[in-house]
Structure 1
Amino acid sequence: MDFFDSLFNNKILWTSALSWFIAQSLKVVHTLVVDKRFNVSRFVGSGGMPSSHSSFVMALTTATGLVHGWDSGIFAVALVFSLVVMYDAAGVRNAVGKQASILNKIIADIHHKKEKKLTEQRLKELIGHTPIEVFVGAILGIIVANIVI
């Protein structure tokens, strides 16, 4: 079996990718329902409900546990990796988004007062996740892995 056959038959990898795809699709639906606008760019964007990062890594972790056992070393590695990713999504990346929002307001105020012409583009604010977005993404990943594996 060559590399591409092995990759194509890697059920854990494809389960994780499916979970990511579903989470990203749900972001488009969530934006449609909550904001009453269709925004297909939410499919490739970061941040928002649910966290596709959390969904991706928890599908990976759950599928790994189901295939290799909950007491396996590879499950432990996947779980630790997932916890770091989810902590980062809700912590560091969420804080960066809040800072971007504040900086955008400062730039808008300066630009409005015309004290100085600014050429900087607005910073992306939707970068991280709230804890509930991370939690929902994680639950989605666990559900997808349990259905697929």
Structure 2
Amino acid sequence: MESYFFLAPFLSFLFAGLIKFIINSLKIRKLAFKKIGLGNFPSTHNAISSSAFFTVLFQEGLNSPFLSIAFALMLIVAIDSLDLRNKIEKHAKAINELEKPNGFSFNLRTKIGHKPIEVFGGFLVGITTSYLFFLLVNGA
């Protein structure tokens, strides 16, 4: 089933988004539609990229030439989530503060990056989705 390689990451995207929506809704005690997007637990980006990696691993094995590409992608996304996006978050906060006295209201989003636990949560969603999908596809 060739669509397996697309469906598992897509399902990881949906599951991570659903988990994030439920957690945020429980926190604020109402449906958290305004909280949909970047940041928080679990990391959707990391769920997708880790699912791509584990999908290739489970389906093709360690000798697949695509495994190293999927691993590199997963690593880049994790580093981006933990480092680069946190730096962007700091810049957004600084820009918002700089523009207040000038009467500008950019209101740049200031929750962009992830904490390690959020990245790990995305990783768990990705591996779990890929493994369950692998079992389903292979009749195990």
Same fold (TM over 0.5): yes
Between the aligned partners of 1:145 and 1:121, the Cα distance in structure 2 is 40
Match of 2:48 among 56, 74, 79: 56
Q: Is the 8 A contact 2:99 2:106 kept in 1?
A: no
Partner of residue 103, structure 2: 117
Q: CA deviation at 1:28?
A: 1.0
Between the aligned partners of 2:103 and 2:96, the Cα distance in structure 1 is 14
Match of 2:13 among 20, 29, 45: 20
What TM-score results when the alignment is normalised by the length of structure 2? 0.86
Rg larger in structure: 1
Between the aligned partners of 1:51 and 1:126, the Cα distance in structure 2 is 12
1:135 aligns with 2:125: no
Q: RMSD over aligned Cα, in angstroms?
A: 1.7
Match of 1:95 among 87, 90, 93: 87
% identical equivalent positions: 24
Between the aligned partners of 2:24 and 2:94, the Cα distance in structure 1 is 23
1:32 aligns with 2:17: no
Listed as ranges, the gaps of 5+ residues in structure 2 are 135-140
Between the aligned partners of 2:108 and 2:90, the Cα distance in structure 1 is 10
SS at match of 2:39: coil
What TM-score results when the alignment is normalised by the length of structure 1? 0.81
Q: CA deviation at 1:138?
A: 0.7
